[in-house]
């Protein structure tokens, strides 16, 4: 798989999944406009990819703000001329920890619910919206979103009522945009991981909790950031041009 001479926008690009994807895309010849809420992490991302500094641009942004997404889209187009796709990775559970997993609905405030929707669903909607005119003008574009197995509500210890609903919304948005944007040559897909054990996640949970998650995975192997990055890279590439509207589980066989 080659991404040579292709150009992408990646959100949450300096996090665990995002930095893995950015490195893979750069290693395969792509140019990446990396945006993240943390300027410190973006600086580290640049530091860790010195060989590709001419093909890596960064910008601090809150992707749940429409003006920020519009600014990112404009800057990315100015930097690279053409954008082939966007990976909407921004999301998660704010302050993730065992006390938030399976939190009863009675203990989820309206502010927490809205904040979770904002982080996971609104950010995906806004960044996609900001790039649609560019994709439509070229009659080509790749939108790859990140949901979660939590969206299907089949498991305990996966999320909570706010997070599960937000990720289900990402899948619904993907399916709707597949239908509405397909005639414009725009492919829209979503990756649904199980629990992704980034360094941040591993630090937030006990060893016992993590081992329990491993035990229920059919392959008995924890899903890591690189596993998700591999799926995202495939869906961004031209090798997946005939795939749209799909939800790809990356979960070691967990359904």
Q: Assess whether pLDDT exceeds 80 at residue 53.
A: yes
Lowest-pLDDT choice from 94-108, 148-162, 164-178, 181-195? 94-108
Q: How confident is the model at residue 245 (pLDDT cuts 50, 70, 90)?
A: very high
Q: Assess whether pLDDT exceeds 80 at residue 184.
A: yes
Q: How confident is the model at residue 81 (pLDDT cuts 50, 70, 90)?
A: very high
Average pLDDT, the chain: 93
**Which residues touch 95 (CB under 8 Å, ≥6 apart)?**
none
Domains present along the chain, CATH in parentheses: 7-250 (3.40.50.720)
Closest by CA position to 18, among listed 56, 53, 54, 51: 56
Tens digits of per-residue pLDDT, 96-142? Answer: 555 677 788 999 999 999 999 999 999 999 999 999 999 999 999 99
Tens digits of per-residue pLDDT, 195-234? Answer: 877 777 777 778 888 888 889 899 999 899 999 999 999 9
SS3 content of the chain, % helix, strand, coil (to 5): 50, 15, 35
CB atoms within 10 A of CB 84: 21
Q: Which residues are catalytic?
A: 163
Q: Assess whether pLDDT exceeds 80 at residue 5.
A: yes
CA dihedral for 225, 230, 236, 241, sign (positive or negative) = negative
Global pTM?
0.94
């Amino acid at each position: 798989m080659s991404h040579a001479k292709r150009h992408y926008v990646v959100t949450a690009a300096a996090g665990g999944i995002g930095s893995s994807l950015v490195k893979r895309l750069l290693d395969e010849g792509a140019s990446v406009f990396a945006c993240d809420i943390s300027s410190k992490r973006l600086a580290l991302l640049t530091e860790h990819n010195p060989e590709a500094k001419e093909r890596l641009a960064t910008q601090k942004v809150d992707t749940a703000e429409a003006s920020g997404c519009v600014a990112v889209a404009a800057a990315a187009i100015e930097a690279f001329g053409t954008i082939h796709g966007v990976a909407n990775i921004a999301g998660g559970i704010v302050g993730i920890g065992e006390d938030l997993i399976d939190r009863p609905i009675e203990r989820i405030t309206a502010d927490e619910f809205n904040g979770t929707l904002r982080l996971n669903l609104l950010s995906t909607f806004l960044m996609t919206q900001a790039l649609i005119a560019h994709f439509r003008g070229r009659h080509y574009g790749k939108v790859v979103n990140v949901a979660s197995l939590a969206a299907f509500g089949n498991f305990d210890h996966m999320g909570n009522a706010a997070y599960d609903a937000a990720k289900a919304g990402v899948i619904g948005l993907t399916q709707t945009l597949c239908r509405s944007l397909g005639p414009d040559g725009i492919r829209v897909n979503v990756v649904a991981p199980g629990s992704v054990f980034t360094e941040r996640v591993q630090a937030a949970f006990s060893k016992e909790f993590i081992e329990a998650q491993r035990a229920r995975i059919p392959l008995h192997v924890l899903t890591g950031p690189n596993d998700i990055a591999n799926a995202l890279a495939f869906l961004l590439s031209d090798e997946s041009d005939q795939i749209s509207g799909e939800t790809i589980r990356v979960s070691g066989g967990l359904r």
